[in-house]
A and B are shown apart, each in its own frame.
Chain A
Amino acid sequence: MDKLRNNIVYVLSLLMVLVLTVPGVFRPDALFDMATYIHGQVLERFGWAYLVAAFLFVVFNLYLALSKYGKIKLGKQHEKPQFSYFGWFSMLFAAGMGIGLIFWGVAEPMSHFVNPPEHIEAKSGEAARFAMQYSFFHWGIQPWAVYILMSLCIAYFSFRRGMRPLISSCFYPLIGDRIYGPIGYLVDILGVFATLFGIVTSLGLGAMQITSGLGEVFSFHAGYTAMLIVIAVVTVLFMISTVSGVDKGIQILSKTNIVLAITLLAFLLVVGPTVFILNIFTNTIADFTSGFLSMSLSTNPFVGYEWTESWTLFYWAWWIAWSPFVGLFVASISRGRTISEFVAGALIVPVLLTFIWFSTFGGSAFHVELTQESGIAGAIADDVSVGLFLLYEHFPLTSVLSLITILLLSVFFITSADSATFVISMMTSGGQFYPPLWKKVTWGLVISGTAAVLLYAGGLEALQKMAITAALPLTVMMLLMCVCLYRGLRYEFTVEGGPEGEKARGYME
């Protein structure tokens, strides 16, 4: 049965890649038009549902953490966490959003500052305040709540209840043994779909940006050949990392990332406009907390709807689409932690670090833009990837900072790619924690090959939009997962006598 299941999900997922990549190679425009249409329709019609769902996930996570269910461990009750806090936070951050912060740390506040919703005057004080507040919001609580929910469900049903670490396992309380049939396959294939196309587009677009950055520093033409070389190098590195497993490669790379990121952060905080940054941090924390509820549920149907659609709703769909990957990965590194510890840790530390990051990089960019009229905001409006490098030009050790950033980007890429390869291999191996080597290699090559081919032919963005469209069924799935998780936890208390109950211990030994 397991063999059949593994092969069905594996074969169907490979077929899906082929079916969607071929039009991307031969008819990239047609694929882009179709993907744009579907993506636009979904956002326009169901955007509000993303907002409501993400807010519900926040409430649900907090409820679990603060209720009696918070004491339940994601594993056997006597188990201790596999990773130290530093290793865990590093991997959480690397898988969750590390790479995004490098790009958007400067670019997002500047973009909102130049192009705010129509009711706010561009480049005004109000626009700057709005820009920081919404940067915090888009990268703050909700994204992590989405990831936490997915991770909690997978971790609970796999480590505590002894099921395979698959998304389909989470639906056992609702549909029972049908998770081993077509419904289960469909759920897992959807997870593979969102993860695979998410990572393919990230790898493709990321290779493009790394090549541009290297071209700026070393003054060479960032053509297709250079991009291909970057992809090849990244592929070799992430394959080495993924083959060596989570305990070694991914953990070491993630820790390196965090050290590099904190070094950059500390440098800019000390050398940059420290007081201005701290003022921005304090002020935006106040704006964020006081406006949290309003931002969480504002679809702005009267004014600013288009802005909300292209930013907030896009982000929410992206976080949800990305959640199977992050969820599975974070679950696999969170064994042995209690629900309270998991929710508090994943909701406080990464969010706080994100806020400090945005305040430092966004704040420095604002300072440079407002005092020196640097034109960073204008340049970002044309190309978001140049923001950080332009900012460095106003600080000492520009080349060193740029090189560290490129290194950071590359390492983040490698960590994302190897954890995605690990997760996809796991999902297509019936949830084996140590998927076969050949599957890891196959998926690694499929990811890189698809990215390289689509980079040449075009069609990467179309694929990205299709991956984001998967957020719609995933949202429904995640809402059902809340029900399943709640039922599981309630069952543990009502039937098995709670986490320390004799039955619970007996059942799970």
Chain B
Amino acid sequence: MLKSTLIPLSLKEPEEKLMDLAGFISQFGTEKVRLLHVFSGGEDEKNRREFELKEREAVFRNCGMSAETEIRSGTIASEICKTAAEREVDYIAILWKKKNMIRRTILTSPDTDLLRLCSYSTLIFKPRKEVRFVKWEWGKRAGGKEGKDRHRKGPNHTSRPARIVYATDCGRADKKVMPYLKSLSFGAKELYLLHVRERAPDPESDRKRQEELSNKLDTLAEQCLTNYDHVENTMLTGAVRRRIPAETRKRDADLLVIGRNDKPKPMDKLLGSTAESLPHQTHCSVLIIA
């Protein structure tokens, strides 16, 4: 369960962010990391990139994980999916790079494509405090005269998730997600079970539905009590894509956990599924369990 992961890298990732990611996934009980770089180019370039990729292994080894590297050529999203299938990893971890809507619509984003194509469990990692870099020279730590411009803005970041929000559908997704929440604490102390529901067509059915959902949430909460210090239920009415990000912000969550729906609605095919849209709207990391 989340023991092995595939991490696609563009090799432009700052070391500090990778360290954050390594620290974060180590809380998941991940033991084995496979770093993947997809590129198109000649043999010399491949050797150079292979070397650069090898350099990144150390970051993960320092966190107690074994690391391997792999270079492939082709379309990024497809190659990641293929590799995940071939190597039988438990999940894919992505270091999320935020792109605005116009940019990702026109220029496309490999991360977005991956979410659409891939049916694997996926962690979208977003460091909580943004790190601003003028230029990061890999292997040199921030410090000295040059390093002054490269330090983190804001308080020190901890890669350990303190608060987790699980956005449950009170249905099929629970069967997939609950084993993870019950057996892995992700190092978090607080767990918030969130259900965003559609309003029933009449007040009486709405009341009964609320009671029913409340009972379901209580049952889920009971199952998780042993793993977390604090478990709390929240039920909201409205649009999933709007209410979940708002609630994660309100709770100042470090990780949002959702289940991937196997049966997308017709409109999802047009607009993209909830799992595809949430990473763009949430401030925190998102774990999509497939």
Contact = CB atoms under 8 A, between A and B. Distances in A.
Contacts of A488: 201
Given A162-B204, A495-B200, 4 more contacts: A157-B201, A173-B201, A487-B199, A492-B201
A174 B199 CA distance: 8
A157 B202 contact: yes
Query: Which of B198, B205, B208, B209: most chain A Cβ within 10 A?
Result: B205
B200 A162 contact: no
14 contacts: A161-B201, A163-B202, A163-B203, A172-B199, A172-B202, A173-B199, A173-B200, A174-B199, A176-B199, A484-B201, A491-B198, A491-B200, A506-B208, A507-B204
Which size bracket describes the interface of A in this complex? 20 to 34
A162 B202 contact: yes
Contacts of A172: 199, 201-203
B237 interface: yes
A72 to B, nearest CB: 11
A488 B209 CA distance: 14
Nearest to A170: B201
Interface string A465-492: 0000000000000000000100110011
Contacts of B198: 173, 487, 491, 495
A495 B202 contact: no
Nearest to B200: A491
Interface of A is mostly: helix
A357 B202 CA distance: 41
Interface of B: 198-206, 208-209, 237
Nearest to B213: A495
A247 interface: no
Nearest to B207: A507
Nearest to A496: B205
A121 interface: no
A177 B204 CA distance: 11
Contacts of A506: 208
A432 B200 CA distance: 23
Contacts of A161: 201-202, 204-205
A162 B209 CA distance: 15
A496 B209 CA distance: 10
A495 B199 contact: no
B203 A491 contact: no
Contacts of A157: 201-202
A495 B203 contact: no
A177 B203 contact: yes
Q: Which 9 A-B pairs have the closest CB atoms?
A: A488-B201, A161-B202, A507-B205, A161-B201, A163-B202, A173-B201, A173-B199, A176-B199, A491-B201
Contacts of B209: 495
Contacts of A173: 198-201
A353 to B, nearest CB: 33
A507 B208 contact: yes
Contacts of B204: 161-162, 507
Contacts of B199: 172-174, 176, 487
Contacts of A491: 198, 200-201
Nearest to B198: A491
A491 B209 CA distance: 11
Nearest to B202: A161
Nearest to A488: B201
Contact of A176 (B205, B208, B237): B237
A238 B208 CA distance: 43
Contacts of A484: 201
Contacts of A508: 205
Most buried by A among B201, B202, B204: B201
B170 to A, nearest CB: 10
Contacts of B203: 163, 172, 177
Interface in A406-463: none
A157 B205 CA distance: 12
A161 B199 CA distance: 13
B205 to A, nearest CB: 4
Residue in A156, A157, A488 whose Cβ sees the most chain B Cβ within 10 Å: A488
A56 to B, nearest CB: 17
Nearest to A485: B201
Interface string A150-165: 0000001100011100
Nearest to A490: B198
B168 to A, nearest CB: 15
A487 B198 CA distance: 9
A507 B206 CA distance: 9
Nearest to A156: B201
A482 to B, nearest CB: 14
Contacts of A162: 202, 204
A111 to B, nearest CB: 44
Nearest to B205: A507
B216 to A, nearest CB: 12
A176 B199 CA distance: 7
B110 to A, nearest CB: 33
Contacts of A495: 198, 200, 209
Contacts of B206: 176
B34 to A, nearest CB: 39
B27 to A, nearest CB: 36
A159 to B, nearest CB: 11
A488 B206 CA distance: 11
A497 to B, nearest CB: 13
B80 to A, nearest CB: 33
A163 B203 CA distance: 8
A168 to B, nearest CB: 13
A421 B166 CA distance: 54
Nearest to B208: A507
Contacts of B208: 506-507
A162 B203 CA distance: 9
Interface string A44-62: 0000000000000000000
A492 B206 CA distance: 12
Contacts of B200: 173, 491, 495
